[in-house]
Each structure stands twice: as C-alpha cells, then as structure tokens.
C-alpha cells in the first residue's frame, strides 16, 4: 500500500471510530422492523416469511437479556433472501458503521481464496507451501511439509499463539512477516493436530499476495465486494502490505448478511456465480475435528451438526450463521475487543439464540 493509501486507511479508521463510539450505558431496546433502504435488500417480516412470531419475540427478549448478550450491538435475520428482523441495541447508527468483526475475516478470506483458485492459482491443496515459495522455507526444513490444506484447516503445526501473534505482528512490525512466522517452533508435525491460530490464515494470505501479485483485499475488491453490493469496508494489512487474512476486516451488519446469503445460495448472486459452488461446498463441509466436541471445521468456516449449520465466528460474539434447511441467515455483531471468557459470546453461548430463531422456521 502506498503512503497516500495508508493515510486514507488511517482517516477511514478515525472516521469509523469517531462515528461509532459507544457510551457505557446499558443497551436500549429498539424496533426489530428493518427499514427499507436503497441498498438492494428486500424487506419483509417474520410472519410474511412463515416464521413463528411468538418464537421471534422470545428471540428478541433473549437478545436483549443483559445477562446473556450484553456486549452485542446488532442482530439481523434473513429468511428466504429477505431481511425480516434487524435490531441495534446500542445505537441505530451502528447500521451504517463498518464494525471490526475479528475472525469472521477468516471466512471471508476463504471465499476470496476460492476466487483465486478459480483463476488458476493453487489448484492442488496438497501442494506444499515450500514448493510454492521455496526461498521462504530455506531456513525452516521442519516446516517443508506444510501444505495449503494444512493452513486452511489450522494444522500447520506452527506454535504461534494468537495473543502473541497480534502483538508481535503489529508492534514489532517485522519487515518480512512470513519469515518471522516460519521462524517460530513447531508444536506438532504438519497436518498432525488442529490448533486454532491466526498465523495459518495469515500465511495463506501472504502466499496469495506473493504468487498472484495481488492481495486478498484486491481480489475481493475486483471479484467479490462489488458483485454483492459491498462498498464501505476496511481491511487491514501487515507491515509487508499483505492483507491480514485472520482478523482485519471491518464490515457493516447488512453487508455481513450479504456474505451469509451468498454462501447460502452456493456462491451465486442474482444468477451470477461469484464463488465456485464446489468451493462453497468444500469449505463449509467437515474437514477436521476441533477442540470443541460439538463443532467441526471446514476451510475457515465452523460447522454445527446439531442444526445442520455453518458459521463464521469472530472474537467477542460476531457471527454469520447459515442454516440451509430453513433458508436462514443470522448475523450478530458485538464489541470485538473484549475477553471472551468473561464478556464476549463464544459459539456455544450463541447457539441457544440461533436455535430459537431456527425453530421459528417451519
């Protein structure tokens, strides 16, 4: 990114933060009736789309329960491709703010990677990363067996915890983040063990940049965002100019719903294939077990067998939850910079709300 572009990003972030800062008061109950805007969304209601109004009222009460989702900012529901429920618990202005949705970024990165593959890059996921960029692995023979599939399923074996990753990547700001990551020790051999970390998707993003000459963000701007109507966003980059593939994206709530609807529709938007349907199928299918016994992992998408659902999941309580059987997309946006153990909403805690909304669908 050139200096003027960097300044533009800084100004954008300042604008976002100044316009979207929240006070410390409790959340305020607002209507859940979506407003008709000129943004491409067709507005309907739960009743018009065959949903149980009583159960949706219960979902509304659960969302506003101060003891459950107290750091949540927004809840949106799309049924049959129509926006039927939308509420903002701190300020209605949050509808127009791009929010930092943390690891939901990983799922967006997965979609963009599907576009990159369709363009002819990285056709074999079992190709070793060392064969793609041998100069990056010359000093790391213990990592020579890492494949693209290992990166996509959090099984590279590289020991680089997320808390350390965030601090070291952006505070120490290494000039060559790929070399910096590959200099870390291994916790297991490549492919041997799942371990959720940000370094794997960040490596994948860097490889896309090195091999194609375009960042994940540039691919998204050319082939994803305009196709589904996303125009206002921020996507951060590392010191070398590669897109932060793990947690750097800021999107508006309705745009998160667009991403979910695109996946629900198998990668097609208004009859145009934006993401290859085969990639949607593979990336949202079971690829590996996780350390959460009830949930599995695809290619940067979580699967929820109980509800036949897939979800993007970001720190703090940010979700794009998709249930194909009921033609349903649920989006929750929450304050991102919190301690999930005490404040944030993790996936098992979000499931009761998602289950209730799903039960409202016949």
- Asked if residue 282 belongs to a domain, the reply is no
Return the percentage of the chain with pLDDT > 90, whole number. Answer: 83
With the CA atoms of 212, 215, 218 and 223 taken in that order, what torsion angle do they form, in degrees rounded to the nearest 10?
60
- Asked if residue 239 belongs to a domain, the reply is no
Residues 140 and 201 in one domain: yes
Last residue of a domain, one of 189, 205, 221: 205
- pLDDT tens digits, one per residue of 265-319: 999 999 999 999 999 999 999 999 999 999 999 999 999 999 999 999 999 999 9
Strands 288-289, 296-297: pairing kind: antiparallel
State how many domains the chain has. 2
Residues 92 and 50 in one domain: yes
- Asked if residue 121 belongs to a domain, the reply is no
pLDDT value of position 26:
60
Higher pLDDT pick, 213 / 22 = 213
Return the percentage of the chain with pLDDT > 70, whole number. Answer: 93
pLDDT value of position 5:
38
Last residue of a domain, one of 205, 233, 261: 205
Residues 184 and 139 in one domain: yes
- Asked if residue 320 belongs to a domain, the reply is yes
Residue 322 has pLDDT above 90, yes or no: yes
Average pLDDT over residues 129-151: 93
Average pLDDT over residues 109-135: 96
pLDDT value of position 310:
98
Residues 76 and 135 in one domain: no
Cβ proximity of 297 and 250 under 8 Å = no
**pTM for the full model?**
0.92
Alpha-carbon distance of 293 to 304, in angstroms, equals: 10
- Asked if residue 257 belongs to a domain, the reply is no
Residue 22 has pLDDT above 80, yes or no: no
Range of the domain at 163: 129-205
Last residue of a domain, one of 174, 205, 236: 205
Residues 148 and 199 in one domain: yes
Residues 143 and 76 in one domain: no
pLDDT value of position 167:
87
| Residue 136, both tokens | 């990056």
- Asked if residue 230 belongs to a domain, the reply is no
Q: Comparing C-alpha atoms, which of 285, 267, 284 is closest to residue 223?
A: 267
Residue 138 has pLDDT above 80, yes or no: yes
pLDDT value of position 285:
98
- Asked if residue 10 belongs to a domain, the reply is no
Residues 135 and 199 in one domain: yes
Q: At what angle do helices 53-63 and 347-359 cross, to 10 degrees?
A: 160
Residue 7 has pLDDT above 60, yes or no: no
How many other C-beta atoms can be found within 10 angstroms of the C-beta atom of residue 131? 11
pLDDT value of position 230:
98
Residues 362 and 316 in one domain: yes
Partners of residue 277 on adjacent β-strands: none
- Asked if residue 340 belongs to a domain, the reply is yes
């Amino acid at each position: 990114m050139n200096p003027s572009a960097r300044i533009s990003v800084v100004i954008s972030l300042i604008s976002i933060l100044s316009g979207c800062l929240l006070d410390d008061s409790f959340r305020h109950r607002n209507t859940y009736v979506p407003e008709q805007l000129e943004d491409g969304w067709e507005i309907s209601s739960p009743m018009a789309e065959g949903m149980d109004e009583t159960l949706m009222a219960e979902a509304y009460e659960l969302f506003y329960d101060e003891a459950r989702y107290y750091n949540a900012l927004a809840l949106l529901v799309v049924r049959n491709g129509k926006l039927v429920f939308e509420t903002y618990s701190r300020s209605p202005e949050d509808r127009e703010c791009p929010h930092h949705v943390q690891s939901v970024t990983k799922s967006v990165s997965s979609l963009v990677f599907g576009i990159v593959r369709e363009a002819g890059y990285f056709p074999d996921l079992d190709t070793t990363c060392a064969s793609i960029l041998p100069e990056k692995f010359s000093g790391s023979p213990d990592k020579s067996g890492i494949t693209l599939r290992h990166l996509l399923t959090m099984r590279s074996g590289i020991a680089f915890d997320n808390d350390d990753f965030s601090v070291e990547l952006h505070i120490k700001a290494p000039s060559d983040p790929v070399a910096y990551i590959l200099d870390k020790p291994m916790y297991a051999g490549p492919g041997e063990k799942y371990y959720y970390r940000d370094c794997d998707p960040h490596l994948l993003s860097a490889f896309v940049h090195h091999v194609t000459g375009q960042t994940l963000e540039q691919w998204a701007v050319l082939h994803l965002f305009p196709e589904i109507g996303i125009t206002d966003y921020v996507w951060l980059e590392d010191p070398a100019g590669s897109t932060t593939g793990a947690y750097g994206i800021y999107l508006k709530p309705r745009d998160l719903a667009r991403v979910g609807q695109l996946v629900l529709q198998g990668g097609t938007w208004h009859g145009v294939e934006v993401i290859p349907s085969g990639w949607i199928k593979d990336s949202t299918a079971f690829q590996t077990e996780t350390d959460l016994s009830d949930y599995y992992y695809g290619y940067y998408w979580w699967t929820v067998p109980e509800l036949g659902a897939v979800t993007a999941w970001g720190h703090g309580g940010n979700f794009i939850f998709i249930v194909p059987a009921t033609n349903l997309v649920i989006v929750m946006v929450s304050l991102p910079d919190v301690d999930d153990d005490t404040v944030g909403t993790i996936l098992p805690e979000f499931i009761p709300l998602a289950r209730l909304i799903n039960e409202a669908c016949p």
